[in-house]
Amino acid sequence: MQARPFTLLRSLRLIVYWLSGLAGFYVLLYLTLSLCGSYQPLYSGGLRYMEAYPTWAPFGFYDPNQKVGTWRGTPIRVFYPLWIFDIQHIHKTKQPNHALQPTATAPSVLTKL
């Protein structure tokens, strides 16, 4: 009767070891991808202007081979918590590139009223 609590304790310990190993592998994999990362443009804007925010992209998060580079959704979804922590605390987003703003603005409807 005394052997049952020891078996339960050993199985719980094994589960904790596996979960710790998986969490460590998850963080180590992100850090490895982040070592080969670079700042890439993240576009934001409206109808009249476009701003490019240089945002940190670990290797595999951004595909520069397109005419206009594209962000890949799958790695971002998988590593989302670590990526958000990374761009908020370690590789902070830089100021927007205002060179992408158009020189001519469209007429406003409110100025005609």
- Sequential pLDDT tens for the chain (113 residues): 455 666 778 888 999 999 999 999 999 999 999 999 988 887 776 677 777 778 889 999 988 787 666 888 899 999 999 999 999 899 887 665 554 444 444 444 444 44
Residue 112 located in a structural domain: no
Distance, in Å, from the CA atom of 41 to the CA atom of 79, rounded to the nearest integer, reads 19
Residue 79 located in a structural domain: yes
Residue 77 located in a structural domain: yes
Residue 109 located in a structural domain: no
Distance, in Å, from the CA atom of 58 to the CA atom of 43, rounded to the nearest integer, reads 17
Residue 77 burial by CB count (10 A; 0-12/13-18/19+): exposed, middle or buried? exposed
Residue 108 located in a structural domain: no
pLDDT, residue 35, reads: 93
Residue 60 located in a structural domain: yes
Domain carrying residue 89: 3-102
Q: Which of 47, 67, 71 is nearest to 58 (CA)?
A: 71
Residues whose CB falls within 8 Å of the CB of residue 98, separated by 6 or more in sequence, listed in order: 51
Q: Provide the number of structural domains found in the chain.
A: 1
Asked if 61 contacts 72 with a C-beta cutoff of 8 angstroms, the reply is yes
Residue 107 located in a structural domain: no
Residue 106 carries which DSSP code?
A: P
